[in-house]
């Protein structure tokens, strides 16, 4: 969750008006500081893959997850609609229209809410995949993950060949379409849960290599393109969540962190970690409002980007945690914070 906040903090320093690109010293610091953190969303999905399977009771599965995820999402969509109206970036009519469009898509100015639609999609397909995930052989899962890894190279292949493996304007489902997307991260989480959860020195070494090499590709690609690209999609090519280099960092971080065992599960630090974990979904939904306020308060008071970016992110993270903790004290708060 902190990684998400810092990634969004960095956006103030390289995204210009109308989605243009700011090629400034601060933007270069964003490239160095935030490239590793691009693994934030894939890590969420990988961790979900550890806990999603097996799905033993579809009714209970959907009731539990959709009540915890969907209701707070709708509440915060409404909050953001009026927040944008209060900020003066939309009219009352526009705010009401954004609310009506929730079944279609999030408001264009609250882009972080895209994540919830993706997460709900994974929940919808989880019961379908569950029998295979639980019974598939190690080789079968590795075959799936290998094809998924190949699909993660497609954004780079497209630089040379705009259409591959059956892609055409009349066909949006080419050969590896069924192995693409975030479901691969969920399957990867389930795979490591089944076959590689025990600590391993060799896996830890592989993890470090994956992190370093993935970071090198992610950061160098962003920094190189800062001076050559003028629109965000092209600038953020190597920052894509569905790229092989971001997947390398994600898997590496997962392999390292899975081996951390609490010396005292009931100690104060681990209780705090559990508490923050319980608040993380509400924090995700709310953090943009807090971040905007913290940025407005601190940006002009700090000079160096290497100081201001993590400082603003830390303060926004702590502020969001405090806000969600206060909301959690209210009756029926689960409908707001999850």
pTM for this prediction: 0.93
**Predicted pLDDT at 237:** 96
Do 43 and 254 contact (CB within 8 A), yes or no?
yes
Residue 266 has pLDDT above 90, yes or no: no
Peptide bond preceding 54: is omega within 30 degrees of 0, i.e. cis? yes
Q: Which residues pair with 168 in a beta bridge?
A: 171
User: Which residues contact residue 118 at a Cβ distance below 8 angstroms, ignoring those fewer than 6 apart?
Assistant: 45, 182
| Average pLDDT of the residues in 133-151 | 97
List, for residues 194-242, the tens digit of each pLDDT value: 999 998 899 999 999 999 999 999 999 999 999 999 999 999 999 999 9
Confidence class for position 281, pLDDT limits 50, 70, 90: very high
Lowest mean pLDDT among 80-89, 102-111, 153-162: 102-111
- Convert the pLDDT of each residue in 323-336 to its tens digit: 999 999 999 899 99
Q: pLDDT-based confidence at 275, cuts 50/70/90? A: very high
Mean pLDDT of all residues in 112-131: 95
Q: Across the chain, what does the average pLDDT equal?
A: 94
Whole-number Å distance between alpha carbons of 213 and 246: 10
In the predicted structure, residue 65 carries a pLDDT above the cut 90: no
334: tokens are 């689960």
Percentage of the chain exceeding pLDDT 70 = 100
User: Which residue has 């292949």 as its token pair?
Assistant: 157
Give 61's contacts (C-beta < 8 A, 6+ positions apart).
Answer: 55, 123, 126, 127
pLDDT in tens, 204-217: 999 999 999 999 99
Tokens at 107, concatenated:
């408001």
Confidence of residue 295 (pLDDT cuts 50, 70, 90): very high
What pLDDT sits at residue 28? 96
How confident is the model at residue 18, as a pLDDT?
A: 85
CB 138 within 8 A of CB 193: no
Q: Report the percent of the chain where pLDDT is more than 90.
A: 83
The stretch 55-74 carries a mean pLDDT of 90
Banded model confidence at residue 307, pLDDT cuts 50, 70, 90: very high
Would you call 61 helix, strand, or coil by DSSP?
Answer: helix
Q: How confident is residue 19, by pLDDT bands cut at 50, 70 and 90?
A: confident
Q: What is the mean pLDDT of residues 29-56?
A: 95
The pLDDT of residue 106 is 81
Q: Report which of 202, 210, 195 is spatially closest to residue 149, judged by C-alpha positions.
A: 210
Helix spans in the chain (H): 2-10, 25-34, 40-52, 58-87, 92-100, 114-135, 138-151, 154-157, 183-195, 201-226, 232-235, 244-257, 268-298, 305-327, 334-337
Backbone angles phi, psi at 267, to 5 degrees: -75, 160
* DSSP codes, 12-44: GGTB-GGGBB--SHHHHHHHHHHSGGGGHHHHH
């Amino acid at each position: 969750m902190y990684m998400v906040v810092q990634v969004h903090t960095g956006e103030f320093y390289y995204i210009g008006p109308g989605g243009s690109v700011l090629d400034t010293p601060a933007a270069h610091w964003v490239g160095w500081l935030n490239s590793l953190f691009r693994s934030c969303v894939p890590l969420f999905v990988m961790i979900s893959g550890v806990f999603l399977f097996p799905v033993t009771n579809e009714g209970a599965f959907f009731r539990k997850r959709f009540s915890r995820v969907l209701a707070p999402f709708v509440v915060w969509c409404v909050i953001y609609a009026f927040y944008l109206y209060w900020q003066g970036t939309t009219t009352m009519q526009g705010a009401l229209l954004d609310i009506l469009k929730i079944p279609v898509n999030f408001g264009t100015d609250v882009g972080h809410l895209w994540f919830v639609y993706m997460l709900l999609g994974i929940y919808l397909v989880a019961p379908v995949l569950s029998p295979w995930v639980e019974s598939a052989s190690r080789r079968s899962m590795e075959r799936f993950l290998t094809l998924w890894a190949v699909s993660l190279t497609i954004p780079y292949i497209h630089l040379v060949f705009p259409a591959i493996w059956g892609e055409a304007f009349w066909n949006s489902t080419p050969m590896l379409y069924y192995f693409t997307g975030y479901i691969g991260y969920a399957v990867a989480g389930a795979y490591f849960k089944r076959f590689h959860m025990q600590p391993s020195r060799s896996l830890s070494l592989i993890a470090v290599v994956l992190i370093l090499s993935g970071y090198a590709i992610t950061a160098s690609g962003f920094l190189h393109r800062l001076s050559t690209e003028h629109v965000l999609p092209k600038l953020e090519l190597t920052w894509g969540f569905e790229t092989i280099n971001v997947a390398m960092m994600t898997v590496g971080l997962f392999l390292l962190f899975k081996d951390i065992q609490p010396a005292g599960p009931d100690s104060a630090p681990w209780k705090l970690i559990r508490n923050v974990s319980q608040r993380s979904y509400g924090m995700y939904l709310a953090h943009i409002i807090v971040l905007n306020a913290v940025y407005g308060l601190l940006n002009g008071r700090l000079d160096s980007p290497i100081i201001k970016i993590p400082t603003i992110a830390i303060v926004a993270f702590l502020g969001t945690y405090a806000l969600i903790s206060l909301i959690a004290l209210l009756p029926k708060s689960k409908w707001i914070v999850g």
